[in-house]
Amino acid sequence: MGEQLTLVEAVRTALARAMNDDDNVVVLGEDVGALGGVFRATDGLAAAHGTDRVLDMPISESMFVGLAVGLSTEGFRPVVEYQFMGFLYPALEQLACHASRMRTRTRGRLTCPLVIRAPYGGGVHAPEHHSESFEAAIAHIPGLRVVIPSSPAKAYGLLLAAIRDPDPVVFLEPKRLYRAAHEEVVDDGVALPLDRCFTLRSGADLTMVTWGACTVEALAAADHLAGDGISAEVIDVATIKPLDMTTILESVRRTGRCVIVHEAPRSGGVGAEIAASLADDGLTSLLAPVTRVTGYDAVPPLYRLEHHYFPTTERVVDAAHRVLEYA
């Protein structure tokens, strides 16, 4: 039997399990030790494993991811916490020029088993640098894997898989879900598969593709549509890079219709990549144009506007009706 955990508690449990199982796993970032992280995801780890494995870093985001890249090439498995995704911008040079290229640069002689953790998206009524959703920019960098859990159990299993992976993983945690719900999580050390979508709900009339916090709106929309006799399949992408298009294509070939839902801005988003892939390989199966329900092409809003920015259940339901009514 497992425990009822929130998503942030599941992250902490996975970190503790990884550190217990492998002495080479180290955690570093701003305030991860004494404070236990800004969202308390690392609370208690320094007391359990010592400050030589849970290291508080100065406010120098580029420096400490560079340190982690070096550690990873010397046999360690560093897990770096960024307090917010918006603080990742200074680290992109290290990720794009070094972490992502280590395997090819050394012709496989070195790898970079590094995990970057960052709370992302809105939901805590914070200023704009604390509410970023630029996962598409990171996914565009070859050599990086990008993973986004949508529930406590997925956070636990996917984070363990990310830590055990031999190559760099950016692990984005939707903070809107950090304490939104409890789910049974068994701390058995079993990882979930990376690079694979999860079908959260089966359906026959249309496919909804989403990830992270927007799984909440997608599932709520599917419930609403079911009341109208419409059967919607809901797919949680989970790993947005590399994309498991096989699962998405199989679903769309059965339903003929697709709605993509994500919090990030519309232009250049991962939803556009999925839509393009459907056009490449599933065009003859589509009975209607692929529709996207997204955030807006705007700087992430301050807290008083946040509720206007998110894709809502109503917007998802309206999009579903549009693709279903397409002649």
Domain holding 256: CATH number?
A: 3.40.50.920
52 is written with which tokens? Answer: 């030589």
Statement to judge: residues 102 and 169 lie in one domain: yes
What is the average pLDDT across 127-150? 93
pLDDT per residue as tens digits for the range 76-125: 999 999 999 999 999 999 999 999 999 999 999 999 999 999 999 988 88
| pTM (two decimals) | 0.96
C-alpha–C-alpha distance, residues 44 and 29, integer Å? 15
Mean pLDDT over each residue of the chain, to the nearest integer? 95
Statement to judge: residues 140 and 222 lie in one domain: no
Omega before 242 cis (within 30°)?
yes
Q: Is position 192 within any domain? A: no
C-alpha–C-alpha distance, residues 243 and 264, integer Å? 17
**What's the domain range around 260?**
198-325
Catalytic residues, by residue number, are 130
Full 3-state SS string of 227-287: HCCCCEEEEECCEEECCCHHHHHHHHHHHCCEEEEEEEECCCCHHHHHHHHHHHHCHHHCC
pLDDT per residue as tens digits for the range 300-315: 766 678 888 899 999 9
C-alpha–C-alpha distance, residues 111 and 72, integer Å? 7
Statement to judge: residues 50 and 151 lie in one domain: yes
The count of structural domains within the chain is 2
